[in-house]
Every structure is written in structure tokens, then in C-alpha cells.
């Protein structure tokens, strides 16, 4: 079993690298779109061991990809790339379509992204301020041209001692809803990235108590979360947990909870 898990992890690592280097466009029939890049594929040189984590499509068809790239053996930087709808790099964005944003001298990642109604891009993930510390929450907001939005947090960057996030969604009013990995959901104000204290308990809502799971790994960070804003304004959070023992499973246990904007634990 351990050998199988190790092989699976390696395959996923390779797959993410390929996806980051070669985003592909596929026709509805399932064949590669020859109008995108070269025969449906695009290769972009980012740096050593570049990894993709998420992609969002702008209303104008431009493609935003977020992930990370190694600076060296101990330093990883978040990266964001924007392509035109034909797969060419959007040279109006960042440095020839690419923006690397060093946060700390350690391992920092983008794991998810979303668009605000005004076209600004929110990317979230994790940062490790000290080599020996745990991951902290990271959010960065970019203007439409790829520059950091100085009105957001400190020079475009928000960090909190909350653990990493792999999902973010934006409400119609621009407020930013973030799901931590398996433990809570919180909301940031649209204007400056501060915690929206009108939401739940001073901005934070734990949903561990909503997820009785006797066969799950007890480590709160073992769950991956996905947050979605429903048409009725309620917040839907999907949580995948890894059953014990061992912390790995081919098919994770899924728990679903939904919360309305008043933060009451009402389900759909």
C-alpha cells in the first residue's frame, strides 16, 4: 500500500507540472483545439519545477493560471500567468504575461484564485515565514495589468496565522470568502482585504462540529475544502477528509455543509 501511495504522489506531481507548462484547449467533441497554441497545446517556460494549482477564465476569455515555481531548493514563489484566448501569453499582464511574487525566503504557494466583479484577481494559498514554522494563510490581489493592488492588505498582500487555503470565492458585492483546509471558512472585505467581522464569529466560522466523522483522520488540516457561492447568496463548502489510519486513501470521505450569509449552519 505504501508503494502504491508513493507512486500516486509522483504521478500527481508530474501531472501538475505538465498542466502548468501545457494548458490545452479541447473542443466539445473531446479533440484538441488547433486554434489554441500549437495543435491545442502551449508550453511556457516559467522556471525550475513549476506547478499549476488552479485556473480561472475571465469574461473576455483570457485564461488566468496560478501556482508556484522553485526559486531554489528551499524557496518557492507564488506565480500567476495570463494567456489570451488563443493560448498566447498576454503581454499586457505583468512581465510578458507572467508575475512571480516573492513572499518569504521559504515555501510559498498559490493554491486557488477567483475574479472580483471589478476584474481584479484574488489568489490564495500558503506562506511559511520561517523555515521551521507551519504554513500561514496567504492572499494576494492583482490589478488587471498584473501589478499588486496596493489598496489590499499591505502592498497587495494579506497573511494570517490561519493555515493554508485551497479555495476562494467572491460574492456579488466583492467580498471574499475563503475556505481553510478542513477547518473553517472566513470572509474578507472587498475594499482592503481586512477580516469582515460582520460574518460569523468576528469573521470566522469553524465547521468541524458540523462534520462528525469517527473514521476520519483527526488532524484538522487533512481535509481539502472547496467553497462556492450559490445563486441565492448562500455559501456552500465541500470538505474531503482522509479516513484513518494512515492519512491516505484512494477515495476520500466527503462531507458537505452549507452556510448562509448570516453564518447560521443551515444546509441549503
pLDDT digits (tens, 9 = 90+) for 71-85: 887 889 999 999 999
Q: How would you label 146-162 residue by residue, b for 16+ Cβ within 10 Å and e otherwise? A: bebbeebbeebbbbbeb
pLDDT at position 240 over 80: no
pLDDT (mean) for 47-72: 91
Instruction: Give the CA distances from residue 21 to residues 33, 115, 139, 215, in Å, rounded to whole numbers and listed in that order.
Output: 17, 22, 24, 38
Residue 3 lies in a domain: no
Q: What is the pLDDT of residue 217?
A: 46
pLDDT at position 245 over 80: no
Q: What is the pLDDT of residue 242?
A: 53
Instruction: Give the CA distances from residue 177 to residues 132, 214, 217, 220, in Å, rounded to whole numbers and listed in that order.
Output: 29, 28, 25, 19
φ, ψ dihedrals at 14, nearest 5°:
-65, -40
Q: What is the pLDDT of residue 4?
A: 27
Q: What is the pLDDT of residue 30?
A: 80
Residue 35 lies in a domain: no
Q: Return contacts of 58-62, CB within 8 angstroms, 24+ apart.
A: 58/115, 58/119, 60/85, 61/85, 62/90
Residue 126 lies in a domain: yes
Residue 221 lies in a domain: no
Q: What is the pLDDT of residue 223?
A: 57
Q: What is the pLDDT of residue 14?
A: 29
- Which residues lie across from 82 on neighbouring strands? 64
- Distance, C-alpha 164 to centroid of its chain: 9
Residue 218 lies in a domain: no
Q: Are 25 and 42 in contact (CB under 8 A)?
A: no
Residue 111 lies in a domain: yes
Model confidence at 233, in pLDDT bands (50, 70, 90)? confident
pLDDT at position 252 over 50: no
pLDDT one-digit tens code per residue, 20-53 = 444 567 667 788 889 999 999 988 888 878 888 9
**Residue of 5 and 164 predicted with greater confidence:** 164
Q: What is the pLDDT of residue 207?
A: 64
pLDDT one-digit tens code per residue, 142-163 = 999 999 999 999 999 999 998 8
Residue 57 lies in a domain: yes
DSSP string of 242-253, one letter each residue? PBTTTS--SS-E
pLDDT (mean) for 191-217: 75
**Residue of 246 and 127 predicted with greater confidence:** 127
Model confidence at 232, in pLDDT bands (50, 70, 90)? confident
Model confidence at 115, in pLDDT bands (50, 70, 90)? very high
Q: What is the pLDDT of residue 126?
A: 93
**What share of the chain has pLDDT > 70, as a percent?**
71
**Residue of 175 and 231 predicted with greater confidence:** 175
Residue ranges making up the domain that contains 17:
11-22+49-163
**Residue of 203 and 268 predicted with greater confidence:** 203
> Per the structure block, which three cell numbers stand in for 4?
502504491
Specify the number of domains making up the chain: 1
Kind and range of the H or E run holding 177: strand 176-180
pTM exceeding 0.85:
no
Beta strands (DSSP E) in 58-175 are 63-70, 76-83, 98-100, 109-115, 121-127, 136-142, 157-160, 165-170
pLDDT at position 258 over 60: no
What rounded mean pLDDT belongs to the chain?
78
Q: What is the pLDDT of residue 262?
A: 38
Residue 96 lies in a domain: yes
Amino acid at each position: 500500500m505504501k508503494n502504491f501511495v508513493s507512486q500516486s504522489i509522483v504521478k500527481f506531481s508530474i501531472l501538475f507540472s505538465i498542466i502548468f507548462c501545457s494548458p490545452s484547449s479541447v473542443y466539445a467533441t473531446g479533440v484538441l483545439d488547433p486554434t489554441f497554441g500549437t495543435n491545442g497545446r502551449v508550453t511556457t517556460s516559467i522556471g525550475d519545477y513549476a506547478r499549476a494549482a488552479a485556473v480561472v477564465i475571465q469574461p473576455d476569455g483570457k485564461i488566468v493560471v496560478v501556482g508556484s515555481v522553485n526559486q531554489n531548493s528551499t524557496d518557492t514563489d507564488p506565480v500567476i500567468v495570463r494567456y489570451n484566448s488563443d493560448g498566447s501569453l498576454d503581454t499586457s499582464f505583468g512581465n510578458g504575461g507572467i508575475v512571480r511574487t516573492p513572499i518569504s525566503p521559504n515555501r510559498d504557494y498559490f493554491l486557488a484564485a477567483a475574479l472580483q466583479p471589478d476584474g481584479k484577481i484574488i489568489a490564495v494559498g500558503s506562506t511559511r515565514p520561517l523555515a521551521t514554522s507551519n504554513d500561514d494563510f496567504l492572499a494576494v490581489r492583482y490589478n488587471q495589468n498584473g501589478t499588486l493592488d496596493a489598496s489590499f492588505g499591505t502592498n497587495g498582500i494579506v497573511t494570517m496565522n490561519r493555515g493554508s487555503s485551497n479555495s476562494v470565492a467572491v460574492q456579488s458585492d466583492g467580498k471574499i470568502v475563503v475556505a481553510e483546509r478542513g477547518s473553517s471558512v472566513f470572509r474578507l472585505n472587498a475594499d482592503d482585504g481586512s477580516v469582515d467581522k460582520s460574518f460569523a464569529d468576528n469573521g470566522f466560522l469553524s465547521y468541524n462540529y458540523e462534520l462528525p466523522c469517527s473514521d476520519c483522520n483527526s488532524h484538522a488540516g487533512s481535509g481539502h475544502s472547496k467553497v462556492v457561492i450559490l445563486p441565492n447568496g448562500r455559501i456552500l463548502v465541500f470538505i474531503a477528509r482522509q479516513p484513518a489510519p494512515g492519512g491516505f486513501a484512494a477515495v476520500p470521505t466527503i462531507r458537505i455543509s452549507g452556510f448562509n450569509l448570516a453564518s447560521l449552519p443551515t444546509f441549503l
